[in-house]
Amino acid sequence: MTVESVDHPRWKGFIAAGTVICCWTGFNIVSRLGGKSVLTPFDMTALRFMVSGLFMLPVFFIFSNQLPWRRLVVLAWVGGTMYALLAYSGFALAPAAHAGILINGGVPLATALIAWLWLKDKPSGRALVALTLAASGVLIIGVQSLGAPHPDTPQEWLGDLFFIGAACLWASYGILVRLWHVRPVDAMSGIAVTSAVLYLPVYILFLPKALAAASLNDILLQAVYQGMVAALVAAFCYAYATLSLGSSAASLMLAIVPATSALLAVPLLGETITAITGLGVLLVTAGATMGALLRKK
């Protein structure tokens, strides 16, 4: 048994990935609520790193973050500031269902493509089957959801592009965590603190703000969920799952999020699951399950 497997046993990796699935399912709902409020994407990004940066500042020094500053900046940009800005910009223009499809369903596909092109890490036969199943499910759900007309949101296509960009950035973050062997605590504290240091001064001095016009409930909801759950819990657990299961398996498990988002939308948003959506959910779940059984790479 390797040192790496002792430090990051697979069963804990599955728990970490399951936690991320829950966090990201809620992220789609909460972020869409923020996108429909008066808060701007710049406000939501500021709330995210204002809270997470404050909480992680002691952790950053207590655990002696081991990342060189250049890597800290790269991770903060890729998995922190830029990812958040793209995602929240998308939520201001497109429904939460689109994020479930294009971000959460797109991450495993982007992970495989980037690893293939950049690291020459060609997926195995089983991984290709898992990716094909997940992609088929995402495509089936996407055709129905993305193809439905939404006259009140004519710029959905732009929001969808933002979601695709966010998926590519998060996939890159997962690959860098694995490539650089980043400790989960370093990923969590490094992204939070570095993003706060780099982004908040720019936000305060130059970017448009709407915090004064927002309700206290909206501000608190976004601050707590984005700053604690999304920025800290999800980032830590995804880094742990990546180190324990491998970037391919960890990202494929997150392809379940479009399915959990669709199921959660029934009681919370009053939506229904059609036969086409149900088929897509089954395919995505099958691909993610197969991906979870892949040997760590």
Q: What is the pLDDT of residues 249-281, one digit of tens each?
A: 777 777 778 777 777 767 775 666 677 767 877
* The predicted structure's pLDDT at residue 151: 61
Average pLDDT, the chain: 83
Does the pLDDT value for residue 4 go beyond 50? Answer: no
Statement: residue 5 has pLDDT above 50: no
Whether the predicted pLDDT of 240 surpasses 90? no
Look at residue 157 in the predicted model and tell me its pLDDT.
82
What contacts 16, CB < 8 A, 6 or more positions away?
236, 237, 238, 240, 241, 244
- Residue 296 makes CB contacts below 8 A (sequence gap 6+) with 10, 244, 245, 246, 249
Segment 153-191, tens digit of pLDDT: 667 788 888 998 999 999 999 899 888 988 888 988 999
pLDDT, position 99: 82
Q: What is the pLDDT of residue 1?
A: 38
Cα atoms in the 13 Å half-sphere on the side-chain side of 286: 15
Compute the average pLDDT of residues 95-121: 80
Closest CA to 229 of 19, 14, 83: 19
pLDDT(149) > 60: no
Average pLDDT over residues 68-77: 94
pLDDT at 7 over 70: no
Two structure tokens written together for 109 = 């596909």
Mean pLDDT on 135-145: 75
Quick one: pLDDT band at residue 108, thresholds 50, 70, 90?
A: confident
CA distances for 153 relative to 148, 158, 162, 194, 268, angstroms = 11, 10, 15, 34, 21
Q: What is the mean pLDDT of residues 89-117?
A: 83
Range ranked top by mean pLDDT from 137-141, 215-219, 240-244: 215-219
CB atoms within 10 A of CB 297: 15
What ranges do the domains of the chain cover?
8-292
Cβ count near 124 (within 10 Å): 13
Quote the radius of gyration of the chain (alpha carbons, Å): 18
Q: Hey, CA dihedral for 101, 105, 109, 110, is it positive or negative? A: positive
